[in-house]
Amino acid sequence: MNIEELREYCIFKKGVTESLPFGPETLVFKVMDKVFLLTTMEGSPLQFNVKCDPEKAIELRDKYPCVLPGYHMNKKHWNTIIVDGSVSIKLLHEWITDSYNLVISGLTRKAKQELMELK
């Protein structure tokens, strides 16, 4: 997976916006104004941060060397994923989708309704 593929996968999801609120090097993806993924525009290999259930975050870190505590994030709720080829694209997509869904689950009822009404 490269940065373009990551961007396409994220932006395709319902209600997602992208921005550069921290400067030109950090791309942020939000659903209904809530962050679910951050990535750097530079560096190799590609790395990104995703939100994760705290218990699952620890399990993933123990099982996969490419999963680390979230860099510059709350380590309890965020993982940094290093895209080094050691896990499948399918698994990367699963972790991104889990982050997206976790953020949606924390939205207000009104925000969830607005999201459902988007085309």
For residue 79, is pLDDT > 90?
A: yes
- 67's CB contacts (< 8 A; 6+ apart) are 60, 61, 79, 80, 81, 82
**Residue 87 Cα distances to 34, 39, 67, 84, 113, angstroms:** 27, 18, 10, 8, 35
This model's pTM is above 0.85: yes
Pair 46, 2: CB distance under 8 Å: yes
Q: What is the pLDDT of residues 32-65, one digit of tens each?
A: 999 999 999 888 999 999 999 999 999 999 999 9
Domains along the chain? 3-117 (3.90.1150.30)
Task: Give the length of the chain.
Answer: 119
Give the rounded percent of residues in the chain with a pLDDT score beyond 90: 90
